Amino acid sequence: MLDYRLDEEYEALRKTVREFARAEVAPVIGDFYEREEFPYELVRKMGAMGLFGLPFPEEYGGMGGDYFALCLALEELARVDSSVAITLEAGVSLGSMPIYRFGTAEQKRRWLPELCRGEALGAFGLTEPGGGSDAGALRTTARLDGDDWVLRGSKAFITNSGTDITALVTVAAVTGTTADGGKEISAIIVPSGTPGFTVAGRYSKVGWNASDTHELSFVDCRVPAENLLGARGRGYAQFLQTLDEGRVAIAAIGVGLAQGCVDECLRYVAEREAFGRKIGMYQAIQFKIADMEARAHTARLAYYHAAARMLRGESFKKEAAIAKLTSSEAAMANAREATQIFGGYGFMNEFPVGRFYRDAKILEIGEGTSEVQRMLIARELGLPRSA
């Protein structure tokens, strides 16, 4: 028998994060957003709540939960603000999770406790300035020189990479040539402050303005050989798994944004009057909000399904792509409709829907564009690779 009701622990977590988002995030995040300032105090509070340690075992300072618990937290945060949500998502699924999944006992002991407490952030250096969706076209290199890896190259659009509490970036780099002449790709942990590792200035972004995003460069950057994460040459497989899991988390953020648009519209139409009536009485407005709710609900079921398959140890690549595609398009459509319902006020940054509209588009790009998701779905259906 299918049952999509949350059990008591999940429901308690969802309510706790929702209350935090409404009481702590909502009143202040607009100012952070306008100043393009990273919200350190909110991150500290999320760390104290255990949100950065949700899916990790207690032995590493985690909460002993699972990935679905993280997704629930992300959805509730994104109902209020996506900058805070993506900071948590990237900190966990891209910063900490690769170390937990592939790290040695010593690497886990060294890095995870501080990351789980939210006292430090990790980042994942995959995308490059000329690479975009072609993740296999890496140009950053790492060569062994005695007991050190020496890195050269650059990365682009890396979240959580330049904060005052960023502790490390896991860098995907070409470390040699495979037997068939292809690129041998490995993952290497580069601690912040390592000589030769430079963090460029903050990007001027359309959205996610209270999150941290930078371009990184590596010029003869030397780290110990033991900073290799997982087996040499397994970097490509590692980041594919990381991205599959991350797409479920990004889907949860998309659902949160889509639902947040519904929340804001319901409040607004109960107060705003036009032509002598509350605008919530007009069927045209009611139909828009009904469609918005239907999109959020459908996308939520998609990411619940993908997360359930993940937790059962079943293949979930197709389901993750469906969830990410569905939720990002729902977020974009709902943000557009919410802005329309708010009219001129929807175009003002002081109203959350204006921020939602600016934040929604990146969900159709980051962690694999909508086109990449369709390509993955087609491949999982057995269709031939297109030219």
The model's pLDDT over 231-269, given as tens digits with 9 standing for 90+, comes to 999 998 998 898 899 999 999 999 999 999 999 999 999
Positions marked catalytic: 367
Q: What percent of the chain has pLDDT over 90?
A: 88
pLDDT above 90 (res 349): no
Residue-level pLDDT at 317: 96
Q: What is the pTM of this model?
A: 0.95
Residue-level pLDDT at 136: 66
Residue 267 sits in the same domain as residue 291: yes
**274 or 73: whose pLDDT is higher?**
73
Q: Which tens digits make up the pLDDT trace of 122-145? A: 999 999 997 665 666 899 999 999
Residue-level pLDDT at 304: 96
Q: Of 211, 233, 255, which one is at a domain's C-terminal end?
A: 233
What is the length of the chain? 387
- Look up the domain containing 134 and give its range: 123-233
pLDDT category, 370, cuts 50, 70, 90? very high
* Mean pLDDT, the chain, integer: 94
Q: CATH number for the domain including 216?
A: 2.40.110.10
Q: CATH number for the domain including 306?
A: 1.20.140.10
pLDDT category, 2, cuts 50, 70, 90? low
Residue 362 sits in the same domain as residue 276: yes
Is 1 inside any structural domain? no
Residue-level pLDDT at 133: 59
Q: Which tens digits make up the pLDDT trace of 282-319? A: 999 999 999 999 999 999 999 999 999 999 999 999 99
Q: Which tens digits make up the pLDDT trace of 20-36? A: 999 999 999 999 999 99
Residue-level pLDDT at 49: 97
Residue 33 sits in the same domain as residue 116: yes
Q: Of 194, 209, 233, which one is at a domain's C-terminal end?
A: 233
